[in-house]
Amino acid sequence: MRLHYWLAVLTFFAACRKPDVSTVKPLPYRYWESNSVRSNGLRLHYWRAGKRGKPVMIMAHGITDYGLNWADLAAEFENDYDIILYDARGHGFSEKPEGPYSLEAHMQDLVGLIRALDIQKPILVGHSMGGSVVAFTAASYPDLPAAVILEDPPMEEMLERLTVDIIPDWKNQVATNAVTSKAKLMERARKEYHPGWTAFAYDHWAESKRLVVPNVIDILIGGGFGNPREIFPKIMAPTLILKADTEEEFRRRHMDAAALLPNGRLVHVEGAGHLIRNDRPEVMEKEMRKFLSEHSL
């Protein structure tokens, strides 16, 4: 009886032990290239979905996500653009150092990726944290991008919630998700967080949660996601911001901040939550194509 008890205890802890995500190898996705580069002192993994010789479009994902969370949208654009979906440090199949996970570090990672792949004038697309990274990159290197597209980047009311006080609880949630079955994560997303998505979107949302380390939440320390009202005036490239649906007060505040862009506009997408490309995919694609066409990209 005692032996059975201790075997059960050991089995429980083995099941709960956090997997060593640093040793997980990315599986091929469709015919897309899966590769890595050294950037800013670490290894960054990416998928390259587009056609060589086309304008390059680089997509930066949100916090705790990974590159393939963009795959549904990327598939709509891959005939016209050379698309690169990369995993940020600490996420997906990229290297996972103890730190730093600052906005500055993420920005230098993206710049290093662009330089390592010898890309000229990419279109930079970013969601949430990736939107902050893309905006900060475009502001710090104004001649680098051909255009900037931001999907629900942290602004106004979102930044007011993203403070250092939430770090411990958020890290615990990241650690818990990493040892939760994919099926359970998908079911939770379907019922509690993101109803109405495609099965593909649920699958890769859940997969990304099992491949991220809690220290990515340390981006909230120091400057956090940055202040759009300081960053936007420095972005010289044409810029499109797509924001989730929200109350009129916050719509006004978003528009006030976006008015600081030298060459940009902001569109609120009715009925969309934080992941606009999954909630209202047809609107996301339409607005992107309209914007790219306006700027001959």
Kindly indicate the confidence band of residue 8, based on its pLDDT and cuts at 50, 70 and 90. very low
- In Å, how far are 64, 161, 192, 217, 219 from 166, measured between CA atoms? 15, 8, 20, 9, 12
Kindly indicate the confidence band of residue 25, based on its pLDDT and cuts at 50, 70 and 90. confident
Give pLDDT, residue 4.
Answer: 35
Q: What is the mean pLDDT of the chain?
A: 91
Kindly indicate the confidence band of residue 50, based on its pLDDT and cuts at 50, 70 and 90. confident
- Domain coordinates of the chain in residue numbers? 33-163+223-294
Say if CB 199 and CB 278 are below 8 A apart.
no
Give pLDDT, residue 24.
Answer: 66
Kindly indicate the confidence band of residue 21, based on its pLDDT and cuts at 50, 70 and 90. low
Judge: domain 33-163+223-294, CATH 3.40.50.720: no
Q: How many CA atoms lie within 13 A of 60 on its CB side?
A: 34
User: What is the percent of the chain where pLDDT is above 90?
Assistant: 84
85, pLDDT greater than 60: yes
Which 3-state string (H, E, C) describes 72-96? HHHHHHCCCCEEEEECCCCCCCCCC
Residues 181-186, mean pLDDT to the nearest whole number: 94
Give pLDDT, residue 5.
Answer: 35
224, pLDDT greater than 80: yes
Torsion of CA 285, 229, 121, 266, to 10 degrees: 20
Q: How many other C-beta atoms can be found within 10 angstroms of the C-beta atom of residue 247? A: 9
16, pLDDT greater than 90: no
In this predicted model, which residue has the larger pLDDT, 111 or 30?
A: 111
The tokens 């650690």 sit on which residue?
175
22, pLDDT greater than 70: no
For 256-281, how does the pLDDT look when each residue is reduced to its tens digit (9 = 90+)?
A: 999 999 999 999 999 999 999 999 99
User: Which of 51-55, 170-174, 186-190 is most confident?
Assistant: 170-174
6, pLDDT greater than 80: no
Q: How far apart are CA 57 and CA 49, in angstroms?
A: 10
Structure tokens at 213: 């380390």
Comparing 27-36, 198-207, 215-224, which segment has the lowest mean pLDDT?
27-36
β-strand 33-39 against 42-48: which pairing, if any?
antiparallel
Say if CB 46 and CB 187 are below 8 A apart.
no
For 91-150, how does the pLDDT look when each residue is reduced to its tens digit (9 = 90+)?
A: 999 999 999 999 999 999 999 999 999 999 999 999 999 999 999 999 999 999 999 999
Residues 215-237, mean pLDDT to the nearest whole number: 96
pTM: 0.91
Q: How far apart are CA 65 and CA 92, in angstroms?
A: 7
Residues 58-62, mean pLDDT to the nearest whole number: 98
